[in-house]
Chain A
Amino acid sequence: MDFALTEDQTALKVAARTYLEDTYGFERIAAFADEGENDLAAWPELVRQGWLDPDLGLAELVLLAEEGGRALHPVPWFATAGLALPVYRAAGVEPAGPATLADGSGTCRATRRDDGWRLDGAVQAVLHADVATEIVVAARTPAGVALFGVGRAAASVSACAGIDPLRATSDVALAGAEGRLLAGPPSAAPLLAAIRSRATTLLAGEAIGVADRALAIAVDHAKTRSQFDRPIGSFQAVSQQLADGYAEVELARSLAYRAAAAPSAEAVACAAHAASRAAVSVCETAIQVCGGMGVTWEFPLHRWFRRALWLEAELASGPLEAIAHSLFGEHS
């Protein structure tokens, strides 16, 4: 057993952090968030740097997701690499640009016409549908679920307000929209399930990054902010909370890396639960440690807190019951 990052993995992580730190300061992140925008101009650079390369394994992707969470990386990388890319890979094609996945397997229907497939239905809260070049839509066909690429212009996309403006979602309506078949039955259904597991693991990685950054912001503050003629970090009531935050991050980090190295259902559920809990609780601790400043709009922490709450909503339902199920058997 050697449960440590390899040299290549460490190098990848360091390179990602350096790039993101150089590119996205607090003010730039705030500007993107306030406009509810993504840095689409940076997309070609990201592709050039290899963030969508086919040779990235789950472990590498989790490290990139972690650094992305740390930086609140304002690009649709997760939607593309985490949700849509496996479908393109299965089809043997490359996405034309940022992409996302709309799981409409319960609400969308695909019909065969002479000229190809037409899709009808509606999917709510599709991540980054507003900026995706193409939306991968799961829809029912008479033979089972299939996955189609739908150009954004062919769909009706209406934005929804969300708690994390850097994670904008939209409702997508399809009325006879043309779709290109990427994965048909019977392989589409297991592919969707695999994507869910992969996406959960990546979001767990992202949550670690969110928690880690919030902790770093608070530790910095505790070293520099003085009250009663001493840095507040010398007060145990402050430092002990931060130490607990560190413990929370490290335990969750171990679980996220483990889910990436050996992605069983149990491993993914543990990672999802621990990481989203760490993100929320460490952000809260960090805000507490930053005092009044911590609860202002100008101070950057709420951007991470918002992401933590978004992640909690995505991740927190389910994993505990899945684990209880495996410990106790079916709830009768």
Chain B
Amino acid sequence: MRLDDSEDQAAFRAGLKAWLAEQLPEATPSAPRAWSADELRAWSKALHAAGYAGLTWPSEHGGRGLSPSYQAIYAEESALAEAPDHAGVIGLGMVGPAIVHYGTDAQKAEHLPRILSGETIFCQGFSEPDAGSDLASVRTRARRVDGGYVVDGEKVWSSYAHLADHCLLLARTDPDAAKHRGLTCFLLDMRAPGVEVRPLRQLSGDTDFNQILLSGVEIPDDRVLGEPGQGWRVALTTLAHERGTFGITLTARLSVQLDRLVKTAKACGADTDPRVRAEIAELYVDLQGLRFTGYRALAAMERTGEPGPESSILKLRWSQANQRVSALALRLLGAGAAADGTDAFWGGYWQHQRLRSRANSIEGGTSEILRGIVAERVLGLPKSR
């Protein structure tokens, strides 16, 4: 049981820190700066050039073949330095690994280098109006035609689809097969005729996710990822990768948020209020619990290739903590919490966080679904249906 970096890890961390310090303006004491889409792409290029994209990808696909702990160090340091995400988080973190696992040589050659360099942005087209938590009930239909498929249907809540070049699409190819069996994954070109993206506005006012309408979209055979009918397995692989070191990224970002909360409490003169102090201290304990649980899950992953069972609670408890941080921040602002935009403290940063974080317990699997997974798969309780 050891908590410090190995020699190689320490060297990697030091190099990364120095690089981040050189590339980024110093972390702000208040609200973080916003990044435009172009700046994000430029950042992805720089990351790639410096060798920090695809750390765990095999080297024959442009990665560095490092173990997940390096990805975790990257996640931690870049969040602490308030670096933006790689523009193609979904491609880099989820779709890429699925292509490495299931893709043909041609698919690998086409997509992997571009995902790494940030040239290609992927979105994930899983959810539908009638298939959210119950993902296996997707209805988007891919009909077999000569040389490929024709797709009709509708996807929702697709993050970054408005920026995406490609979509990892989950569609039903065999309506007669059992629910989980008749699904296939496709690498859909978002510019193909018949693909229409409509922005959806979130309650925070952001327009980061979208509806994707698909009518008569032709997808050639060579765009099938994995075997036809195996879409469910491919989808699960991408979701498993989402869980990998994601908890560590979330925790590091939460620690930055908590720092901002402390600064806000001081700015509001609430730092001497014993109840506020106790509440923030409790959030700090939650944060540290998440942090070290993330490290335990990582250690399990380094040893066995799978994150440990404790990883199943990271997103669940992170969403609670993250929501509590912004809720408390707004309460500290008192009547000022009703302001927004430039009139508000830090330009409305906390108002936005309070609204945006409401989605945390829904996106990427709702808290109820996550608890269900823990109950059935970890505690071995009987199925609820």
Contacts and interface: CB of A to CB of B under 8 A. Distances in A.
Contacts of A233: 375, 381-382
B300 interface: yes
Contacts of A59: 1
Given A324-B281, A332-B272, A240 B372 contact: yes
16 contacts: A1-B2, A2-B1, A5-B1, A236-B372, A242-B379, A243-B378, A244-B371, A246-B378, A251-B286, A251-B317, A258-B292, A262-B3, A319-B285, A320-B281, A327-B284, A331-B274
Interface of B: 1-6, 9, 69, 262, 265-266, 271-272, 274, 277-278, 280-282, 284-286, 288-290, 292-293, 295-296, 298-300, 302-303, 310, 313, 316-317, 368, 370-372, 374-376, 378-384
Given A3-B296, A219-B379, A323-B281, 16 more contacts: A2-B299, A230-B382, A233-B381, A234-B382, A235-B384, A236-B375, A239-B376, A239-B384, A242-B381, A243-B378, A247-B317, A255-B285, A261-B3, A274-B289, A324-B277, A327-B280
A254 B262 contact: no
B288 A255 contact: yes
A242 B375 contact: yes
A1 B69 contact: yes
A236 B368 contact: yes
A59 B2 CA distance: 10
Interface residues of A, number: 47
Contacts of A328: 262, 265-266, 271, 277, 280
B291 to A, nearest CB: 8
Nearest to A328: B271
B334 to A, nearest CB: 19
A242 B384 CA distance: 13
A170 to B, nearest CB: 33
Contacts of A79: none
A250 interface: yes
Contacts of B384: 234-236, 239
Interface of A: 1-6, 9, 59, 219, 222-223, 230-231, 233-236, 239-240, 242-244, 246-247, 250-255, 257-258, 260-262, 270, 273-274, 319-321, 323-324, 327-328, 331-332
B282 A251 contact: no
B285 A323 contact: yes
Nearest to B308: A4
A246 B9 CA distance: 31
A250 B371 contact: no
A260 B262 CA distance: 28
Given A1-B9, A1-B69, A255 B289 contact: yes
Contact of A4 (B284, B303, B368): B303
A258 B289 CA distance: 9
Contacts of A235: 384
